[in-house]
């Protein structure tokens, strides 16, 4: 692999959700990631035997972590690794003899990334949970939905990935930067409850100066305003409207052929229901794609709501390479992009045990990696 993380070695202990997602992103940026799968399986598997592209771009070894021989293999990898990622309940890795102290004993420069929902400490730490539970405890879930309705169940982007894997990656990269000065590794405690809360800082800031109402669906960016919402079109498709700033709002009205002098005043919150009804009626006069043509090339901030089936064929996304083909399956391209160290096209996942190749590359070449198992002076 090429990319800015070329040469970085990552051990990924089997987990679901944010850990393989974090490993996928690191691998996409050039890291050499080894996925340590379980012989006995376990966890949630919705693939039905088909390739799981969350595990693209890395090699796999299949182990039983309770087997002394396999345990020794993992520690051999740890000895020359830069990063280890795990997503077990607190204390589980320690019971398996693969906790932070066990790994630091063979490699004090190792960055040990721990991904959980509740964190490594506190009364909730040993309990199970999912994305919905973590964002419910941070106030984020309560803020998503329409007025007077129950909170909307969002996709698991906020807890698992936004507040989970992305903060795990940020922590690992920060620890790697610090290691350049200290020569020592450390433990990164990435908890989805912490990450989701940090993602919500903008809401805390708005609340702090009185610009956020506690009633869901009544604020600027939660669908409360008629000019930041979605609208159904004549064909049953939808458009997304984000015409917040006055120039963008003016462009919206021009596209809708509405006279700003005769429509309800958007600055008067009491007029929002009438304005929303007007927009609803107007957008229903044309199809989604007809509105896309009307607003193409404008700053109205009106875009079609594409389905996943449509994304790969969109001319803009195709030209930019945002969605690419990997093994005959549409996939998200690695992100972000780099000018001097571009990333490779991802490789399909391989379910086969590649232990021999991994040990050949990692263990037998360890002498070529200076100071892997000792602090720098």
What pLDDT is attached to residue 375?
38
Calculate the average pLDDT of the chain. Answer: 93
Q: State pLDDT tens for residues 236-247.
A: 999 999 999 999
pLDDT of residue 278 exceeding 50, the answer is yes
* 147-161 mean pLDDT: 95
Phi, psi of 213, deg, nearest 5: -85, 145
Task: Give 91's Cβ-side CA count (13 Å radius).
Answer: 5
Q: State pLDDT tens for residues 315-340.
A: 999 999 999 998 888 999 999 999 99
Q: State pLDDT tens for residues 93-119.
A: 999 999 999 999 999 999 999 999 999
- The confidence band for 370, taking pLDDT boundaries of 50, 70 and 90, is very low
Percent of the chain with pLDDT over 90: 87
pLDDT of residue 39 exceeding 90, the answer is no
- The confidence band for 62, taking pLDDT boundaries of 50, 70 and 90, is very high
Residue 211 burial (C-beta neighbours within 10 Å; 0-12, 13-18, 19+)? exposed
pLDDT of residue 13 exceeding 90, the answer is yes
Domains and CATH numbers, the chain: 9-200+334-364 (3.40.50.10540), 228-319 (3.30.1540.10)
What pLDDT is attached to residue 261?
95
First-to-last alpha carbon distance for the chain, in angstroms, is 30
pLDDT of residue 377 exceeding 90, the answer is no
What pLDDT is attached to residue 357?
94
Residue partners of 99: CB distance under 8 A and separation at least 6: 93
pTM attached to this predicted model: 0.92
What pLDDT is attached to residue 43?
60
Query: What dihedral angle (degrees, nearest 10) is formed by the CA atoms of 247, 252, 255, 257?
Result: -100
Q: Is 304 helix (H, G, I), strand (E, B) or coil?
A: strand
State the Cα angle at 115 between 86 and 81, rounded to 5°.
Answer: 40
Residue 260 burial (C-beta neighbours within 10 Å; 0-12, 13-18, 19+)? exposed
What pLDDT is attached to residue 1?
62
pLDDT of residue 374 exceeding 50, the answer is no
- The confidence band for 159, taking pLDDT boundaries of 50, 70 and 90, is very high
What pLDDT is attached to residue 130?
96
- The confidence band for 352, taking pLDDT boundaries of 50, 70 and 90, is confident
Q: State pLDDT tens for residues 201-230.
A: 999 999 999 999 999 999 999 999 999 999
- The confidence band for 44, taking pLDDT boundaries of 50, 70 and 90, is low
Residue partners of 153: CB distance under 8 A and separation at least 6: 132
Annotated catalytic residues are 130, 160
CA distances from 81 to 33, 108, 261 (A): 9, 10, 66
pLDDT of residue 372 exceeding 60, the answer is no
pLDDT of residue 368 exceeding 70, the answer is no
Residue partners of 195: CB distance under 8 A and separation at least 6: 159, 162, 163, 164, 166, 167
Q: Pick from 281, 248, 286: which is nearest to 263 by CA?
A: 281
Is residue 318 within 8 A of residue 330, CB to CB? The reply is no
């Amino acid at each position: 692999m090429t990319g800015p993380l070329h040469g970085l070695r990552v051990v990924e202990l089997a987990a679901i959700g944010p850990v393989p997602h974090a490993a996928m992103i690191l691998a996409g940026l050039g890291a050499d990631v080894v996925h340590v799968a379980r012989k006995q399986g376990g966890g949630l598997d919705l693939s039905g035997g088909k390739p799981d592209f969350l595990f693209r771009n890395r090699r796999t070894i299949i182990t039983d972590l309770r087997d002394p021989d396999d345990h020794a293999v993992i520690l051999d990898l740890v000895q020359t690794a830069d990063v280890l990622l795990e997503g077990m309940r607190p204390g589980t890795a320690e019971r398996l003899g693969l906790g932070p102290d066990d790994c630091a004993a063979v490699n004090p420069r190792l960055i040990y990334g721990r991904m959980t929902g509740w964190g490594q400490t506190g009364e909730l730490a040993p309990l199970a949970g999912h994305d919905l539970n973590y964002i419910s405890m941070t106030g984020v879930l309560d803020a998503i939905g329409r007025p007077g309705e129950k909170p909307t169940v969002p996709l698991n982007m906020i807890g698992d990935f936004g507040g989970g894997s992305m903060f795990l990656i940020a922590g690992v990269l920060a620890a790697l930067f610090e290691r350049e000065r200290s020569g020592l590794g450390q433990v990164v405690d990435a908890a989805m409850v912490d990450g989701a809360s940090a993602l919500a800082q903008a809401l805390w800031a708005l609340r702090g100066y009185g610009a956020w109402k506690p009633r869901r669906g009544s604020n600027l960016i939660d669908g409360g305003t008629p000019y930041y919402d979605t609208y159904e079109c004549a064909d049953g498709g939808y458009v997304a409207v984000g015409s917040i700033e006055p120039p963008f709002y003016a462009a919206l009205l021009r596209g809708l052929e509405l006279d700003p002098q005769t429509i309800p005043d958007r600055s008067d919150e009491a007029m929002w229901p009438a304005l929303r009804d007007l927009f609803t009626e107007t957008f229903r006069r044309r199809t989604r794609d007809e509105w896309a043509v009307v607003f193409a090339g404008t700053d109205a901030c009106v875009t079609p709501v594409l389905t996943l089936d449509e994304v790969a064929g969109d001319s803009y996304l195709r030209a930019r390479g945002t969605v690419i083909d990997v093994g005959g399956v549409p996939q998200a391209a690695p992100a972000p992009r780099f000018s001097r160290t571009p990333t490779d096209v991802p490789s399909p996942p391989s379910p086969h045990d590649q232990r021999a190749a991994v040990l050949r590359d990692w263990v037998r070449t360890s002498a070529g990696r200076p100071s892997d198992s000792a602090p720098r002076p």
